């Protein structure tokens, strides 16, 4: 993968005009909203993918939609590439810049514009963090459902770009299921509004196209999102199994039975040990795989649902069943799960993959993933959203050893190909970015890719927005 992951060649004409571009941007933005010195640019040279780094030409930090429009209009006029950025938590290289690009970061656009509890919605700027929305309405008994592990830091703009999910997306859906409208600036500076406060809008579903666009159609500056009433109660339960295959089969049968818990999260033995050492969550250490199953509702509803789930788990040889007994214990259980990526980073470098598979193939894919990793002489910790088959194998390696890094990348590509081959797809919530760009042809025929690129070009004919991402670099001339 190292050989195939490359950036578009920097535009020499843009680089030659760098000083003039910076001076022009300084006329459009106040001093505190423009970064251009090399030392100050370093925080923006990569994202959570971290394997690749580039210093951008400059970073714009606009505070308003009008400032975003002014920057994009200027860049469009002079052919300057633009890389949109939220909090930089992308795990697929989606926010890594290019040397000839201006990064437009929405972190200063962090106001909650309106909270409308009667209509159960909130209007927010794109730089508002995911968790801040829930905290703002918690006292009134509401929350914002999508909850990626990075929800403390990730922005709504970034969530919309990648169509992010999280542990509770099994019941409540991912970003696209909780998004009502956006205000977006196109590459030429045009400001458009899609959707709104109504539950549905007439015309083509352009909002559906925008959610998951990976910063290639425009820059979202405001969003209208759904708010959901808090459930009467919620209860996570730990289910321990001897093997990952048993746990995977149990998940498939739970969903096949018609039961939809609010979350089903999976950890294999390496992930259990890593997360327990960090969070002290009380995870059982004598099992080969762990499921965190959370149900919600009244006490009677939760008892009934858990009774059915336990019965299914017993048919699959469940070894441990442990219900949480307090809010503190429940918080610890979720702390362990949501800290998985950071806890893994304490012990090794890792690549986090993001493939989705049909639940009927979950047990098989877990087994084959182990075989792939063993074949490369590596280690893996599996922790993922099992209820919707969204897998996140964390491939451990030594980043200071180029050969080890190359093996890790090759193993990751084989796992993603496996996901596609069993009827799944390359990404569930992390996006394509740079990481999976060269695998797009493994999932899509040329005609499919051409149609997607035509839709993308309709919004940005010059391919100036996030140009090195999502689509293979070869074959773009026809688009």
CA atoms of 29 and 39, how far apart (whole Å): 20
Tokens matching residue 32: 């505190």
- pLDDT tens, 69-118? 999 999 999 999 999 999 999 989 999 999 999 999 999 999 999 999 99
Q: In Å, what is the CA distance from 423 to each residue of 148, 170, 359, 415? A: 24, 19, 10, 13
Q: What is the pTM for the complete model shown?
A: 0.92
Contact 114, 133 (CB under 8 A): no
Q: What is the mean pLDDT of each run of 10 residues along the chain (479 residues)?
A: 63 93 97 96 88 91 98 97 94 92 97 97 97 96 92 93 90 94 98 90 90 97 97 94 94 93 94 94 94 94 94 96 89 90 91 92 93 97 91 93 94 97 94 93 95 95 95 74
Question: % helix / strand / coil in the chain, to the nearest 5?
Answer: 40, 20, 40
Residue corresponding to tokens 């894919």: 365
Please name each of the domains of the chain with its CATH number.
12-105 (3.30.43.10), 112-229 (3.30.465.10), 234-341 (3.30.70.2190), 348-421 (3.30.70.2740)
């Amino acid at each position: 993968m190292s050989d195939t992951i490359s950036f578009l060649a920097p535009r020499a004409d843009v680089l030659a005009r760098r000083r003039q571009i910076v001076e022009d941007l300084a006329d459009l933005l106040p001093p505190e909203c423009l970064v251009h010195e090399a030392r100050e640019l370093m925080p923006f040279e990569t994202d959570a993918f971290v394997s690749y780094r580039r210093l951008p030409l400059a970073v714009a930090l606009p505070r308003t939609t009008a400032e975003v429009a002014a920057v994009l209009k200027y860049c469009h006029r002079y052919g300057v590439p633009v890389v949109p950025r939220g909090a930089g938590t992308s795990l697929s290289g989606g926010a890594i810049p290019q040397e000839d690009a201006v990064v437009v970061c929405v972190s200063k656009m962090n106001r909650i514009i309106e909270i409308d509890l009667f209509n159960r919605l909130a209007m927010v700027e794109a730089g508002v963090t995911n968790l801040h929305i829930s905290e703002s309405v918690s006292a009134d008994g509401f929350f914002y459902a999508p909850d990626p592990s990075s929800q403390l830091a990730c922005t709504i703009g970034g969530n919309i770009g990648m169509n992010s999910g999280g542990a509770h997306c099994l019941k409540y859906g991912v970003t696209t299921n909780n998004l009502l409208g956006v205000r977006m600036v196109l590459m030429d500076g045009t400001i458009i509004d899609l959707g709104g406060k109504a539950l549905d809008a007439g015309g083509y579903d352009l909002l559906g196209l925008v959610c998951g666009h990976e910063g290639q159609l425009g820059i979202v500056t405001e969003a209208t999102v759904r708010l959901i009433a808090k459930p009467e109660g919620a209860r996570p339960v730990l289910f321990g199994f001897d093997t990952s295959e048993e746990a995977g089969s149990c998940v498939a049968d739970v969903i096949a039975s018609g039961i939809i818990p609010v979350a089903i999260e999976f950890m294999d033995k390496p992930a259990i040990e890593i997360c327990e050492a960090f969070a002290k969550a009380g995870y059982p250490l004598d099992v080969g795989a762990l499921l965190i199953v959370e149900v919600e509702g009244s006490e009677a509803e939760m008892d009934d649902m858990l009774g059915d789930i336990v019965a299914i788990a017993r048919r699959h040889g469940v070894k441990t069943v442990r219900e949480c007994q307090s809010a503190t214990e429940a918080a610890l259980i979720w702390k362990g799960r949501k800290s998985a990526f950071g806890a893994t980073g304490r012990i090794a470098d890792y690549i986090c993959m993001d493939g989705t598979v049909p639940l009927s193939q979950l047990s098989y894919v877990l087994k084959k993933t182990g075989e792939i990793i063993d074949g490369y002489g590596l280690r893996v910790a599996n922790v993922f959203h099992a209820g919707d088959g969204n897998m996140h194998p964390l491939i451990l390696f030594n980043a200071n050893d180029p050969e080890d890094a190359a093996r890790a990348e090759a193993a990751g590509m084989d796992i993603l190909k496996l996901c596609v081959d069993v009827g799944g797809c390359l990404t569930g919530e992390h996006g394509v970015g740079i990481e999976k760009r060269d695998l797009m042809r493994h999932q899509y025929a040329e005609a499919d890719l051409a149609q997607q690129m035509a839709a993308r070009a309709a919004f940005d004919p010059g391919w100036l927005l996030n140009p090195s991402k999502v689509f293979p670099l070869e074959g773009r001339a026809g688009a």
